[in-house]
Amino acid sequence: MITLKLSLFSILLVAAPALAKPLLTSSEDTYESVCLNYGDTPDRLIAICTRALQATGATPVQRIDMKDSLAWAHYNLDNVQEAERLFAEMLAEDPKSPLALVGLGWMAYDRDDYETAAESFGSAAEIRPEEQAIAGLGSSLYRLGKLPIEDALGYLDAALAISPEYYWAMRQKGWLLSAEGLSADAVAAFEKVLEVNPDDTNAMYGAGYVLSRDDQWQEALPFVNRALQHKPDFTTALSRRSLILLSLGRPAQALKDGERVIELRPNDSDGFVRVARAQSALGRTKDAIATLAKAEKIVGYDGYLFYWQADLLSDAGDTDLAVKKLETVIAAGDADYYDHELLSVIQLDSKRFLEARKTVDKALTLYPLEPHLMYYDSLILIDEQEYAQAEARFDEAVAAELPVERLSNFLKRLVGASRYLQAVKMRVRYSSLED
């Protein structure tokens, strides 16, 4: 058994093509022995294990083990469908194979199907309670909302008790703590991994990700730079560094990283979005829109891509198409908070108050405690001439941690509605609160 599986947030980099050489480099080796030991690069293992499985000298248990090696070799070359097919084939041959169950668990985990993942890991743990099954089960149950963070961390600790150098479990502590909003603890968890495994690029990336998510851009950059020094084509790290550089006011450098992401993953929208955002920051919004249009021709519908198309199109004044993009995402059931928020902003800015009312009401049913949605609601109430309600709603938004700087725009809307006295009184009231 081999602990090759990383998390959804980790990237397995493909090894460089091996030099042409015999598949067996030692007279002591056989195709079967090398395959069973997971003892070569993924591309060579595929050839070695395929030959091994064509032979007839292995036992049924050994054949399962060889298929496991072959499946992970395919996975590490991004042949995920073939990997999952092999794991399913293993399970059909032996319904109690822990290797098959764990493999299928990781395939489900990768596509965020945590229910299936938990079932597979749980079955594997009942048969053979080893580190991957236990860690995968705990993490899956946490992501399903069926385990509190303390219990999930307990599962990871149990896995580490079995295998103290199981770095996936160590990193996963960081990711779960990050999901809880415990950023300092999450970064500390990733740094602990680096203390025992200084070359762990996924831990470097994890620390950089958490710091950048909290807008600590300057602090995040060294971690991501370090990861890329070890693995220059670490695409997720390149994408994250592009965002960090953009946020640090270095769009030209961000553009270069985005272009490299496109080279490495030409059929993924991520690199195109990074390039487009950098182009826009460089004053080339027309080019940015063209970049995303090119991406759409390649990848088709993509909620992440459509969001950024809407953002840039609205900046360029093409409100109708921007709204259409977001409505497509919402209709597909792929919308998150940011899609609803951007649609609200676009409709408010273009004075489409009736449409904005429907959008904000729907968003508030999904995210009732979001302060910016409360704020947009207050602006719509001004248009609806419900001035007292608008003021009360703005107060609610501030109590929910809306930045008080939004007061100026709210007061402008009141003045625009000829509510001069109300605006003055509200300004005085907020000034006294600041004092």
Q: pLDDT tens digits for 164-181?
A: 999 999 999 999 999 999
> Contact at 8 Å (CB) between 246 and 266?
no
For 25, half-sphere exposure in the C-beta direction (CA atoms, 13 angstrom radius) is 9
Residue 264 carries which side chain, given as an amino acid letter? L
In angstroms, rounded to a whole number, what is the distance separating the alpha carbons of residues 5 and 205?
17
Radius of gyration of the chain (CA): 26
Q: pLDDT tens digits for 151-163?
A: 999 999 999 999 9
> Contact at 8 Å (CB) between 238 and 254?
no
Low-confidence ranges of the chain (pLDDT < 70): 1-29, 39, 434-435
The pTM of this model reads: 0.85
Write out the two tokens for 144: 């399903």
Residues whose CB is less than 8 angstroms from the CB of residue 161 and which lie 6 or more positions away in sequence, other chains included: none
Query: Hey, what's the torsion of the CAs at 398, 400, 401, 402, to 10 degrees?
Result: -50
The predicted structure's pLDDT at residue 210: 98
Write out the two tokens for 128: 């053979």
Any idea what DSSP says for residue 385?
T
The predicted structure's pLDDT at residue 51: 86
> Contact at 8 Å (CB) between 296 and 329?
no
CATH class of 1-180: mainly alpha
Give the 3-state secondary structure of residue 321: helix
The predicted structure's pLDDT at residue 377: 98
In angstroms, rounded to a whole number, what is the distance separating the alpha carbons of residues 283 and 204?
32
> Contact at 8 Å (CB) between 289 and 316?
yes
The predicted structure's pLDDT at residue 4: 39
Every domain of the chain and the residues it spans: 1-180, 369-435
Reported residue count of the chain is 435
From start to end of 148-204, where are the E strands?
Answer: none
The predicted structure's pLDDT at residue 373: 98
In angstroms, rounded to a whole number, what is the distance separating the alpha carbons of residues 266 and 295?
9
The predicted structure's pLDDT at residue 172: 97
- Within 10 angstroms of residue 154's Cβ, the number of other Cβ atoms is 14
The predicted structure's pLDDT at residue 16: 39
The predicted structure's pLDDT at residue 57: 77
Alpha-helical (H) ranges within 265-302 are 269-281, 285-299
Write out the two tokens for 3: 């602990």
What stretch of H or E contains 258?
helix 251-264
Residues whose CB is less than 8 angstroms from the CB of residue 311 and which lie 6 or more positions away in sequence, other chains included: 322, 342
The predicted structure's pLDDT at residue 30: 74
